[in-house]
Amino acid sequence: MEKQKGKNKNILKYRAYQFSLDAIDLLMLLPKNYIFEIIGKQFLRSATSIAANIIEAQAGRTKRDFVNFYHISLKSANETKYWLCVLREKSREKELKEKIEKLLREAVEISNMLGASILTMKNKRVL
């Protein structure tokens, strides 16, 4: 059972890291104008923050630190979903919209994994 928990944490960490890389790839495809540049910067910050806070959680000194960093990561994932929705609605190219939609689905899955992890930690009275 303990081995499975460690494996799930590694899967989440890997998926969040890969999500960061995919987000960077998406940014390179966005139109080069002021509006997309500003939205892209916000999106980049929130998208890369997901994995960064998961990594930071693992370096936390207490279990409370761990849970707090997961909360921050979840907030970043939720903000990322917002920016992806804005980008999807304002993008004109079908291929770009499909890439955004794929990234949005992954953001939802990562959010769900983070939320489930937080609930599990809270139910076990880790705090």
DSSP letters spanning the chain = -HHHHHHHHHHHHHHHHHHHHHHHHHHTTS--SHHHHHHHHHHHHHHHHHHHHHHHHHT-SSHHHHHHHHHHHHHHHHHHHHHHHHHHHH---HHHHHHHHHHHHHHHHHHHHHHHHHHHHHHTT--
Tell me the pLDDT of the chain (127 aa) as tens digits. Answer: 445 555 666 899 999 999 999 999 999 999 999 999 999 999 999 999 999 999 999 988 888 999 999 999 999 999 999 999 999 999 999 999 999 999 999 999 999 999 999 998 887 644 4
pTM: 0.88
* pLDDT at residue 61, as a whole number: 87
**CATH code of domain 2-123:** 1.20.1440.60
